[in-house]
Structure 1
């Protein structure tokens, strides 16, 4: 049988989900990090290119990860 702490945690999380069940209205922006981290896109691009040059299958993995995260966000 589950311990009382686990049951309490699950109950708390369920209540939290019910209370915070408001729709998200966020919008993606390609300029989000321009002020706080101006080199972000260059750093990400360099890292991805390096990873793909070391292991060609990494390109497919990155695309799969991107779409998995997007679909999970849309469906949840």
Structure 2
């Protein structure tokens, strides 16, 4: 996963946990606008989420952040 996408995921996880606490769940769609303005980046996120890590549709933000930090 490219660094800019990792940073987007980390920032999104931080934002959601600050607002809703450590128990908040996210989908990879949460890191994108409702418009599909960058399908290549969306598919990269989906591949990382679904194929690489075999994650459920919704996962805890703290888990996603830790997976990304472990990949860095």
TM-score normalised by structure 1 residue count: 0.30
Q: Which has the higher contact order (CA 8 A, sep 6+)?
A: 2
Higher strand share: 2
Higher alpha-carbon Rg: 1
TM-score normalised by structure 2 residue count: 0.32
